[in-house]
Amino acid sequence: MKRVLLIVLAVLLIASFTSCAKTEEPEATEVPTEAPAVEVAPTEAPVVPSADTISAASADAYSYEEGTLYGEELFAAMSEMKGVSCIATVNEDNSPNIATMIPAHFTIDGVDYLVFGHGANQTVANLRRTGLGVLQFYIYDPSLQGDENKFVRNQGARIILKYVSESNEAIDEQTTAIYKASYTDSMAAWMTVVEVVEIKPLG
């Protein structure tokens, strides 16, 4: 009987040690099924060019106001080709484009227009796409040196242009007369007309 009790006691001790040696498994954690929300900073809308934004883009500190030509004085100098006319536009990839052209001038109901002949070129494509351009007319007289002649030596203007997408009878009459005087009738189909929006100083 004593031996049986010892055996039972030994079995109970072994069972006790075995249960203590077992480690508790960690509780399962919940894994989120949705990704955390990420705040995205709002993107600003692209600035669409307009005649007003181009007009405001000048730095007065660099303006040659005293050497700027306006009105009939400007358009007469352009017609007589006393200087160089360069038209700046923007390509589809936002890179700059500049071309030298010789425009003619006419006025209808107090509004000034410029017209120039063209082939298939990028400047005209840009004018038609964006509706805007800037022409710089520049006269430089190297014979007039010295600071006192600065504004006589450098003359001209910057002209903000708006593409005329829809012609009318009055514009057609003017452009036809211009090209008949200088070119053949077939040239009338190769012309581009722009409206003078604003004349600004050289900058």
The model's pLDDT over 130-172, given as tens digits with 9 standing for 90+, comes to 999 999 999 988 888 887 787 778 899 999 999 998 878 888 8
pLDDT > 80? residue 197: yes
Q: To which residue do tokens 């006269």 refer?
A: 139
User: Which two three-digit tokens encode residue 197?
Assistant: 């929006």
What is the pLDDT at residue 142?
Answer: 84
Per-residue pLDDT reduced to its tens digit, 67-124: 899 999 999 999 899 999 999 999 999 999 999 988 899 999 999 999 987 666 899 8
Distance, in Å, from the CA atom of 59 to the CA atom of 158, rounded to the nearest integer, reads 13
Domain with residue 82: its CATH number is 2.30.110.10
With bands split at pLDDT 50, 70 and 90, how would you rate the model's confidence at 194?
A: very high
What is the pLDDT at residue 172?
Answer: 83
Per-residue pLDDT reduced to its tens digit, 170-184: 888 888 787 766 655
**Which has more pLDDT, 54 or 151?**
151
User: Which two three-digit tokens encode residue 61?
Assistant: 């500190």
- The H-or-E segment that residue 100 falls in is strand 96-100
Domain count, the chain: 1
Nearest to 122 by CA among 95, 103, 162: 95
Name every residue whose Cβ is closer than 8 Å to that of residue 11 and which is 6 or more positions away in sequence: none
- 58 is a domain residue: yes
What is the pLDDT at residue 119?
Answer: 66
- 37 is a domain residue: no
The reply to whether the predicted model has a pTM over 0.85 is no
Nearest to 76 by CA among 169, 156, 153, 166: 156
Residue 163's DSSP bridge partners are 194
